[in-house]
Structure 1
Amino acid sequence: MTNDVIHTALWVSDIESTLDFYVDGLGLEHNWEFTSDGVRNVYVGGDHGEFQFKSDVDGGGDAAVGPCGGFDHLAVGVDSTDETFERLVDHSDPPVATEPTTMAEIDRRVAFVEDPDGYVVELVERL
């Protein structure tokens, strides 16, 4: 048996803008979803893992949303950091934390943007 990362769960304030960002903008797959106890759970991802986005169906919950605690960022592997960054900026105009840059010491090209709730998303291209 091998261990894999299955998903990262995050509360979001607006599930539709979150799906617009991650599915339509970033290009991840909308894999599946369910609603339980008034919470809509939507899973998006690719071949190597998923993000679980949780949203209060009635909008009246007190779930903490946004950057907090020890959370730093989500990392998403992409074929081209520059192309993905440009598409995301054109589509969603997210706040940009770090423009595309090459990290030669780890042989990666990365950029950092914020999603609709302020979570930092790292775009990672293997060089």
Structure 2
Amino acid sequence: MKSSLLKIISIAAILLVNIPAFSQTNFSSNLIGLGVVVSDLERSLDFYVDGIGMAKAYSFTINEDFSIRSGLSNGVAVEVTVLKLENSPNANEWKLMSFGNKQTESKPGYIQDGTGVQYITINVKALNPVIKRLKEKNVKFLGSTPTPLNQNLHFVLVQDPDGIFIELIGPLE
């Protein structure tokens, strides 16, 4: 009994001493914001907001001066629309912007057909409503979707208007 209690106290002490080491980080936030340059902002907003179901959180402008000083562009201003899975301060940001340029490459057929960001994964509470909205928008479904992953979860794969693959995972209902 004494031996078991001593082991439990020892394990607890080791964990308490090491917790600060596990929680130390170089980051002031645990969120990632990803900026995506799209060919047609309205078309992309329609896909992500009305099709996928993301929420418009806010917009901001990167003006000519800041674009030069920051190194983001060579003086081209741009309006950025920030989308989130839910309009919460604790949600990652999907930042869409367009410079009015046409897509430079054809859409990839598969994730290995390019480099850089090729896909994102979105976990949903129910796939059927998303599937219905995307079908109404004539979005092409890739592979044999929905594909069962286990008893409860299914996988759906689509592409946004510029070719980024969107993995949707969740129960059908």
Q: Deviations over 1:39-86 (max 9, x none)?
A: 221110124322111211xx25x9967664132311112111232112
Aligned to 1:42: 81
Structure 2: stretches of 5+ with no match in the other structure: 1-22, 65-76, 109-113
Change (3 A) 1:42 1:64: farther
Query: More helix per residue: 1 or 2?
Result: 2
Structure 1: stretches of 5+ with no match in the other structure: none
Partners of 1:11 and 1:63 within 8 A in 2: no
2:146 alignment partner, one of 85, 100, 107: 100
**1:116 match: secondary structure:** coil
Partners of 2:155 and 2:168 within 8 A in 1: yes
**2:130 match: secondary structure:** helix
Partners of 1:115 and 1:121 within 8 A in 2: yes
Partners of 2:53 and 2:85 within 8 A in 1: no
By relative contact order (CA 8 Å, sep 6+), the higher-ranking structure is 1
RMSD: 2.7
1:74 alignment partner, one of 97, 102, 120: 120
- Give the CA deviation at 1:111: 0.2
Partners of 2:50 and 2:133 within 8 A in 1: no
Aligned to 1:29: 55
Partners of 1:101 and 1:111 within 8 A in 2: yes
What CA distance in whole angstroms lies between the structure 1 residues aligned with 2:103 and 2:130? 31
1:55 alignment partner, one of 80, 93, 98: 98
TM-score after normalising by structure 2:
0.60
1:8 counterpart = 2:47? no
**2:98 match: secondary structure:** strand
Aligned to 1:114: 159
Aligned residues: 122
What CA distance in whole angstroms lies between the structure 2 residues aligned with 1:72 and 1:7? 16
Return the letter of the residue paired with 1:52. K
Change (3 A) 1:118 1:83: same
Instruction: Point out the more displaced range, 39-48 or 9-18.
Output: 39-48
- Give the CA deviation at 1:31: 0.4
Instruction: Point out the more displaced range, 64-73 or 4-13.
Output: 64-73
Q: Deviations over 1:93-127 (max 9, x none)?
A: 1122131111129x631100111111111111169
